[in-house]
Structure 1
Amino acid sequence: MLVVSQFTWSAFKPQKSILTFSTLLISLLSFVASAEPLLYKAQKGSQTLYLFGTVHVGSRSQQAINQPVEMAIKQSDALILEAELGGNINFPSLVEHSVRDVLTNNELAQLNEIASETQLNIDMLKSLPSWQAALALQQHVFTALDFHAEFGVEHQLSNWAQTHALPVKGLESLQFQIDLLANQPQGGKQMLLQTIEEWPYTENNILCLIKSWSHGDVANLEAMLHIDSDNDDFYQRFLIDRNKSWVRSLVTSSEYQKGTYFIAVGALHLVGQESVVALLKQQGFIIEQISHSKSAHCSMKTHV
């Protein structure tokens, strides 16, 4: 499932000139009050880290800041996001590995069917690098479901921080995230092919991801993680390498050595054997889950 659920982005609107990017994938609806998105407390010496799992778009009715989250963030010296929202982003000036150059005729025919169904401009899609085309398709589904980045968890947390004069920091830059996407092999061909292959199930999978996030369903989130691991390069570069980089920064940077910090990252970064939670535990942090998890009673679909 290559919705980039572990990334940060906002309304992604591919144009021939430039794209507006701020935070990548999904945070959403409170389905039941008794189930909560994942929230952990990691403690070692004079350092306390609250780890909150997010998805990066949401609905108008979404309320991500529940009582446990507010209690944790009120105790914190700073809010730390995957990347600070806003700021300038430079996109590659030249399109390398455009869709029309990397897909076979059969694959292009499949994309053409999707473009007809969504009323997206097929010539525009074929002119883009594959990673941008994949995100354009995913963004179409988010919009159709009325999910938007401006209602996502990161924006809610940032607004809370601004109102309460809490500093906001980023673990990486938005430019880093764009470069990571742009530098995939063959311009992200595999990312686009997986999006095309799973297209019939995209709506089901997005809704299941959101529901699993809102319930803190660790088993379901880990299952989604294993689906992403089918693309070894994507899994390593977008999840594992970033987890390790973040933990290294949190553990070694003088900026975070003392105090309490509220860290909000995509929920898939908090599950699995090489998650941020697992890596901090390896560094000697005592881990406590504060949130209450429940089964989401849904499943991902990837094959006929």
Structure 2
Amino acid sequence: MKLTATAIALLLALPACAKQPTPDQPVATKAPDPNDADPALWVVKDPDTTIYFFGTIHVLKPGLTWFDEAVKAAFDKSDQVVLELVMPDPAAMQKLVMAKGMTTAGPTLTQQLPAAKRQAFTQALTGLGLQAGAFDRMRPWLAATNLSVLPLSRLGYDTSAGPEEVLTEAAKQAGKPVIGLETAEQQLGYFDGLSDTAQMQFLTSTVDELPTLDKTMGSMVADWAAGKPDALAKEMNDSLKDSPEVAKTLLLDRNKRWAGWIENRLKQPGTVFIAVGAGHLAGGDSVQAQLLKDGVKAQRVAY
């Protein structure tokens, strides 16, 4: 697992660090079906509150049948749906991106890059049908996220097939309220707040990893579809070990905040369905691990 794909999986507005993975619970054996996905699902309960949390991959190829069985049953039982983010309208999102991700002064982005990386950066842009200087007024984090996301559609990935859009539409049809754990401004701010060094590392890693993005995403989606969060965590650990600042910002700090949100929500009655990037629900720094530190134990839902 490389840093580029990990960042895609950890942040929606455009997966996680493991210490000692624990074995996944066994799941029932089924007839092989390449389109059948059984992603992991967890639940925490107290006498009057039930909170399900489901790990997503924000972009998927159409055709996977994941919104069924235990996942659909948990969704149907829930009074409220909680996502990482409820997307603002496109104009508001564009305004935020321009404010946080663009600059009008100083050296161009190409000039800021290490000399040894400039040719590969330019080739990455032209390979996507863009002009060589198309990203020159972007901050490194925005260029990196664009270079991460733009090739995905060519590989067959689609946000409309991703769980967030499917769940949002299902909630709308069922009349269920949908709220976000974060705002778009917060999510973009995580990248914007990275140091210049971390941002440039993110960009150069993205350029280096583009040739293997298809294989990397395929591996990540396969682990997700098979309900193997610990395999996902192990791969993601490799991608984040050399970038502790990114790991802390995109993963650990957010997991702690979300665990706190869940603990507070347990004080209110009802049933809630939470869907966040699968990387947040895997490994030694996961949301479940943060909950356990406060005595709240999440159970894997077997299906």
Scaled to the shorter chain, the TM-score interval is 0.7 to 0.9
Larger RCO (CA under 8 A, 6+ residues apart): 2
Q: 2:241 aligns with which of 202, 220, 229?
A: 229
Q: Is the 8 A contact 1:42 1:287 kept in 2?
A: yes
Matched length: 271
Residue in 1 aligned with 2:285? 274
Aligned to 1:288: 299
> Paired residue for 1:295?
none
Equivalent pair of 2:40/2:54 in contact (CA under 8 Å): yes
Measured in 2, the distance between the counterparts of 1:250 and 1:290 equals 17
CA pair 91-9 structure 1, distance change in 2 beyond 3 A: closer
Partner residue of 2:11 out of 2, 7, 11: 7
TM-score, with structure 1 as normaliser: 0.82
SS of the equivalent of 1:262 reads strand
Q: Which residue of 2 aligns with 1:68?
A: 70
1:244-259 mapped onto 2 (5 Å cutoff): 244-252=256-264, 257-259=268-270
Cα distance between partner residues in 2 of 1:75 and 1:132: 39
Please state whether the residue corresponding to 2:246 is helix, strand or coil: helix
Q: State the distance in 1 between where 2:52 and 2:125 align.
A: 42
Letter in 1 for 2:272: Y
Using the TM superposition, give the Cα deviation of residue 287 of structure 1 relative to its aligned residue in structure 2, in angstroms: 2.2
**1:202 to 2:213 alignment:** yes
1:236 alignment partner, SS class: helix
Identity of aligned pairs, percent? 24
The two structures have a TM-score, normalised by structure 2, of: 0.82
Alignment of structure 1 residues 122-201 onto 2, 5 Å? 122-186=132-196, 188-201=199-212
- Confirm or deny: 8 A CA contact 2:13 2:188 kept in the other structure: no
Residue 45 of structure 1 deviates from its aligned partner by 4.0
CA contact (8 A) 2:233 2:283 kept: yes
Q: What is the aligned counterpart of 1:242 among 249, 254, 260?
A: 254
Residue deviations 1:213-253, cap 9 Å, x none?
11122232112320223211000000000000111122135
Q: Is the 8 A contact 2:83 2:275 kept in 1?
A: yes
Q: Which runs of 5+ in 2 are unaligned?
A: 15-32
Residue 48 of structure 1 deviates from its aligned partner by 1.7
CA RMSD of aligned residues (A): 2.2
1:260, distance to aligned residue in structure 2 (A) = 1.5
> In structure 2, what is the Cα distance between the partners aligned to 1:119 and 1:102?
22
Match of 2:88 among 86, 89, 94: 86
Q: CA deviation at 1:159?
A: 0.5
Contact 2:12 2:84 in 1 (8 A): yes
Q: Secondary structure at the match of 1:124?
A: coil
One-letter amino acid of the structure 2 residue matched with residue 171 of structure 1: L
The structure where helix makes up a greater share of residues is 2
How far apart in 1 are the matches of 2:149 and 2:223? 20
What's the counterpart of residue 50 of structure 1?
52
Conserved 8 A contact 2:35-2:63: no
Structure 2 CA distance for partners of 1:265 and 1:98, relative to 1, 3 Å? farther
1:301 aligns to what? none
Q: Are the equivalent residues in 1 in contact too, given 2:38–2:66 (CA < 8 A)? A: no
Structure 1 unaligned blocks of 5 or more: 11-29, 293-304
- Partner secondary structure for residue 241 of structure 1: helix
Cα distance in 1 between the residues matched to 2:269 and 2:204: 45
Q: Pairwise mapping of residues 93-112 of structure 1 onto structure 2 (< 5 A)?
A: 93=99, 94-95=102-103, 99-112=109-122
Is the Cα contact below 8 Å between 1:82 and 1:170 reproduced in 2?
A: yes
| Matched-pair contact (CA < 8 Å) for 1:98–1:129 | no
AA aligned to 2:12 is: T
